[in-house]
Amino acid sequence: MPLRTALLLCATLLAAAAARAAETPPQPATPVIAAVVRTLPFTDPVEALGTLKARESVVVTANVTETVSAIHFDDGQRVKKGDILVEMTGAEEHALIEEGRARVAEAQRQYERVKSLAGQRSAAESLLDERRRDLETARAALAAIESRLADRLIKAPFDGVLGLRNISVGALVEPANQITTLDDLSTMKLDFSVPSVFLADLKPGLAVTARAPEYGDQRFRGEVSGVDSRIDPVTRSIQVRALIPNPDGRLRPGLLMQVELERNPRQALVIPESALLALGQDQFVMRVGADDRAERVQVRIGARRPGEVEITDGLRAGDRVITHGSDKVRAGQALDLVLDDGTRPLKDLLGAREAVKP
């Protein structure tokens, strides 16, 4: 075939192919769901087991051996500081107080009389000193008797909730006998052990989240109040104490709790975990470009938490990444977006996706 004829044939074929391409309809945009890369608070959780203690806790006992004359509390009663819980027999002390008050009054009168005479130079100063000493002695003796009587009144040392009553009226109580318990349950102390490798991150103010099987999925939040000064040489762990508010009194001393310590708090770039595409050891995402076309971007990830992952490199706040439908998308492909703002469940987003399909 002559060269001229061959060139004309090629030109004709190229023109026909171009005409067919012009007649081919454009590829429709691929429907996907995307989310915005956000900056959110992020932490590295450390899990542990801890035991609850009351903020203040005492075993109520007597200071003297005596019989109980009156009981002023019931099981589980809430009391205020200074409330009288138990009265013990003190008839002898009451009589001695009356005698002591009489002695103080008499010593006061003798002192005032001699003081008046000493002012008129009719009594020696040594006699005045003697009467003053008698008055002070009488007052001291009265204070001692009042203290003995006070030992027979058992009072609440702080606000709290009483336990079960272990005595009855008429019982002979000794200092070793337990009358009841008193716990301040307004705030609970949660003690737990943490591996010493995290020592550098431990400090007061770190947030903790605790759960107990008795309360299902309910979470109780608090913060670290202190860190022990010693590391256990056997377990290489250190004791940490957190305070958890307990306004409704649901938490009780001795309760075992699962603790999550939120160490290394920071602001981090976060995307839904469903946006990640793994290829060997590398991680990628499909990013939505400015013209709503897909871009394949390699990223570096940090910590994870349920449903979310931290991005340390490859994305910026405000970028949009595909979370559902990325397996059907190729780089450069046009996208038809439904944006997930985190407020609607996935089934609603999928419903919205179906509604906008042509």
Q: Does this chain's domain 30-41+267-355 share its CATH topology with 90-151?
A: no
Cβ neighbour number for residue 90 with a 10 Å cutoff: 19
The CATH architecture of the domain made up of 30-41+267-355 is: Beta Barrel (2.40)
Q: Tell me how far apart the alpha carbons of residues 299 and 179 are, in angstroms, rounded to a whole number.
A: 65
Instruction: Please write the tens of the pLDDT for every residue from 233-261.
Output: 999 999 999 999 999 889 999 999 999 99
Q: What mean pLDDT do residues 13-21 have?
A: 55
**pTM for the whole structure:** 0.65
Closest by alpha carbon to 283, among 315, 324, 239? 315
How buried is 45 (Cβ within 10 angstroms: 0-12 exposed, 13-18 middle, 19+ buried)?
middle
Instruction: Please write the tens of the pLDDT for every residue from 256-281.
Output: 999 999 888 889 999 898 888 888 88
Amino acid residing at 320: R
Q: Label residue 125 by pLDDT band (50, 70, 90).
A: confident
Cβ neighbour number for residue 151 with a 10 Å cutoff: 15
Q: Residue ranges of the domains in the chain?
A: 30-41+267-355, 45-55+183-265, 64-88+154-178, 90-151
Confirm or reject CATH 2.40.160.50 for domain 64-88+154-178, answering yes or no: no
The CATH architecture of the domain made up of 45-55+183-265 is: Beta Barrel (2.40)
Q: For residue 185, is pLDDT > 60? A: yes
Is the torsion defined by CA of 68, 71, 75, 81 positive or negative? negative
Confirm or reject CATH 2.30.170 for domain 90-151, answering yes or no: no
